Every structure is written in structure tokens, then in C-alpha cells.
Amino acid sequence: MTQTSTSTKTDTSLLSLTIAPACVLRGQNALARSREAIARLGKRPLIVGGSNSLATAKPFLQPILQGAGAGGARADTGARAGTGARADTGARAGTGAPPLQFAEIAYGTDCSEMSLANLREAAATHEADFIIGVGGGKALDAAKLLAYQCQIPIATIPTSAATCAAWTALSNIYSEQGAFQYDVTLARCPDLLILDYDLIQTAPQRTLVAGIGDAIAKWYEASVSSGHSEQTMIVSAVQQARILRDILFQKSAIALQEPGSETWQEVTDAVVLLAGVIGGIGGAQCRTVAAHAVHNGLTHLLASHGTLHGEKVAYGILVQLRLEEMLQNNQLAATARQQLLKFYGEIGLPQTLDSLGLGDISLTELQRSAEIACNPNSDIHRLPFKVVPEQLMAAMVSTTAPVGELKVKN
């Protein structure tokens, strides 16, 4: 009789995925129709955003605040000095909706540790039971991290389609000077995301162009880091990244010519929603590789602060493809780079350091940026080959080089 072993190898790893917000509401005039969903989160929201975003969103938010009972007899109660928060109370008689007592505060110029300390003080002063984040990527990152630290729900309301920050369980922390420091993985995605096409359309078109650059990076980063994976969820994320790329190639130019159109809405969905899905399903390795590492390095140069996140990421994709050409003689990467250069030219994304406003930086500054992008904890090391600062610098100054030029040996 043959004895058969019944022992099996036990996998002790635990995979935790924060894939999506609990609820997503999208459409024209979506905010005005989101009153009940907002009110379910609590009664004392702290509204966090940038100064401009709060002003822009005010006409869109007012129906929610009034309809939920916070806009009738309006009274400024005042907040603790120094927090910059303004509290408003009051309930419209006869609405039948739960009253909201809200305060609002501008997060500052960056999602920094100092900014977060001020936000926590404002939340405590107001006794906030949930957060409403309003604005672009940094404002939403600050609002999400505040909600996470206070252990209260959050609704995110993007005012532009510049990033997928309204969706993700991630916040990036910057210095007071705007230099990327580190990121924080959050316990969950937002409890509610409201994508109001009318509000998004108030943003400059440049923000959507930047969002396209940030979103299309998902394919180039996920495919190089995870394209050979056989894990079901990662395979799914990579394939969705390919679909996202194809949507953006096919529809971006038309969307930019027809703001508010159905095609424009589809591109907005792709940038704000689908890009977030990919990072949620695939995890960190499907979110950021070399393109985002280049962005992080560039933020340490003061001259880069006039450009948007997605613009720097879009340039970083070209740098990543250039590295694949130079260090691996990858002809597919060379072809992809030429395809992207044409696409960038059509929609207005930057192709070089000069088009990022960095044409006059010194060699020392370029080297500093490259060294930061190559630090030991950098996402650039998710590439399937080693990269050192000198090689990265060579790629950064040759993003528009003809195919086959400037090969660098490992």
C-alpha cells in the first residue's frame, strides 16, 4: 500500500484590498440630488477644501446644506481662533430633513503635516462627525487623511478631473514647500463620492488634460511591473489599465473639443473613476512605478510647482519608456514612446523638461531630482531592472530622442 502525504503548504499571507468607495453618485446636477446620501453620514460635517474650490463649489453645495436643514436661519457661531474654520448652524423649518451643522476650512497650499494638525484642531473644535472633502488632489488627500485620523466617514467631491484622488484609499504628504514626502495607505476608500459633471466643467480644461496624463500612466506602470503576473486580481487590474489607455487614446481629443458632451463625461469617468478602480484592485504595484517616481523627484524643484501632478506624471511616462529603451533595448517601449509623443502633441501634455518649465534648471538640480526619484524606497524600483540616478538623468533629457539614440549599458 502506498502512503500518500496529505500535508499542504499553508499560505499565511493576508491580502487586503480597498477597492472602491461605498457609494458613487455621478451625473449632471449630482450634488443637488445627493442630499439624502450626504445626510446619512452624519449631522456635523467639516467641509475641507482649497480656498478657490470652496468658493467655486459653494453654489453647488448650498442646495445640499439647505435641503438637509442647514441653510435656513444662518448663524455664524465662530470657531477656535487660528483654525480658519467657519461654523454655520440653523435649520429650515418644515424641511423634514435632518439638520446639518457645518463648518468649512481651507486646508492650505499642500497636504502637509502642519496642515493636517490644523485640520484636526478644526474638526475637534466643531465636533465633526464626518468630513466633506472638496477640491483637487491635494485637498481631497488632506480631507481623506483627516477622516482616517479622526475615524469618521468622508464624502469626496472633486472639483476637477485632474486625478483619481476622490476614489482612492491613499493620501500623499508634502512638505510646506510642496515637495513630496511619503504616502499613507488608508483603511478604506471614501464612504461617498459625488461626481457632479456641472461642477467638474467649471475647472480649467488644463486640469482634465493633466488628469488624462495621470490616468494613462496606469497602463505603462502596471504593465511593466505586473504584466507577467498570474494573480487573478492583478491580471484584472492590468487589463483594465489597457482598456483605460484605449479609451483615452480614442476619446480624449474629442472630449476636449466638446466640454460637457457625452464623450467628455466618459473621459471624466475614465480619469476619476476607472483609474481609481485599477489601483484598488491591483494594489500599490499597479498604481505607481517610474512615472510617479519621476514626479516625486521633480516636486523637490521649486521651478516645478507651476505644473500640475498629471503633467509631471505624463512626462514621467516618457522617461520610464526611455529607460526601457536604453537599458533593455526594448523596441516596444520605443514604439510606445513615439505613440505617446504624438498623443501628447494632440492634447497638450508636456513632452520635455522645457515644456514643464524646467528647461533652465541646473545640472545639480537635475541630479538632485534624479537621486530623490531613485532613493531606496522609491517606486522606481518596481521596474524589472535596476536604475541609478545617472541613467535616469540621461532618460530625463532625451524623452523626444529618435528611436535608437542614446543607449546606456547596465
Walk along the chain (410 residues) and give the pLDDT tens digit of each residue. Answer: 444 444 444 455 777 889 999 999 999 999 999 999 999 999 999 999 999 999 999 999 987 886 543 333 333 333 333 445 555 544 343 445 657 899 999 999 899 999 999 999 999 999 999 999 999 999 999 999 999 999 999 999 999 999 999 999 999 999 999 999 999 999 999 999 999 999 999 999 999 999 999 999 999 999 999 999 999 999 999 999 999 999 999 999 999 999 999 999 999 999 999 999 999 999 887 879 999 999 999 999 999 999 999 999 999 999 999 999 999 999 999 999 999 999 999 999 999 999 999 999 999 999 999 999 999 999 999 999 999 999 999 999 999 999 865 555 54
Q: What stretches of 50-179 adopt beta strand conformation (E)?
A: 75-76, 86-89, 102-106, 130-135, 154-158, 170-174
Among candidate residues 162, 106, 102, the one with its CA nearest the CA of residue 131: 102
Q: Taking the model in full, what pTM does it have? A: 0.89
Burial class (CB in 10 A: 0-12, 13-18, 19+), 320: buried
CA-to-CA distance for 365 and 295, rounded, in angstroms? 14
**SS3 state of residue 327:** helix
CA-to-CA distance for 212 and 271, rounded, in angstroms? 6
